[in-house]
Amino acid sequence: MTNYELTYLISPELNEEEIKDFSQKIDSLVSKTSKITKPEGPRKITLVYPIQKKGEAFLATFEFQSSPQEAENLKKGLEKEKNILRFLLIKKRGVEKIKKRLRPAPTIVSAIKEEKPRPGKKVELKEIEKKLEEVLKE
Determine the average pLDDT of the residues in 46-54.
Answer: 90
Q: What is the pLDDT of residues 102-127, one digit of tens each?
A: 666 666 655 555 555 556 667 778 88
> Are 94 and 110 part of one and the same domain?
no
> Are 71 and 21 part of one and the same domain?
yes
Look up the CATH number of the domain holding residue 54: 3.30.70.60
Question: Using an 8 Å Cβ cutoff, are 11 and 83 in contact?
Answer: yes
Q: Which of 83, 98, 113 is the last residue of a domain?
A: 98
pLDDT, the chain, mean:
82
d(CA 133, CA 127): 10
Spatial CB neighbours of 36, under 8 Å, sequence gap ≥ 6: 27, 30, 62, 63, 64
> Are 89 and 22 part of one and the same domain?
yes
Q: What is the pLDDT of residues 52-98, one digit of tens each?
A: 899 999 999 988 888 889 889 889 988 998 999 999 999 987 655 66
- Tell me the DSSP string of 61-122: EEEEEE-HHHHHHHHHHHHH-SSEEEEEEEEPPPHHHHHHH--PPP-HHHHHHHSPPPTTPP
pLDDT value at residue 18:
92
Which structural domain, as residue segments, surrounds residue 60? 2-98
> Are 119 and 65 part of one and the same domain?
no
Say how many Å lie between the first and final Cα of the chain, rounded. Answer: 43
Whole-prediction pTM: 0.64
Res. 20: pLDDT tops 60: yes
Determine the average pLDDT of the residues in 20-27.
Answer: 89
pLDDT band at 40 (very low <50, low <70, confident <90, very high): confident
pLDDT value at residue 84:
92
Domains: count for the chain: 2
> Are 87 and 133 part of one and the same domain?
no
CA-CA-CA-CA dihedral for 71, 76, 77, 83, to nearest 10: 120
Pick the closest to residue 128 from 119, 31, 115 (CA basis): 115
User: φ and ψ at 7, to 5 degrees?
Assistant: -125, 135
pLDDT band at 7 (very low <50, low <70, confident <90, very high): very high
> Are 10 and 76 part of one and the same domain?
yes
Pick the closest to residue 42 from 18, 23, 15 (CA basis): 23
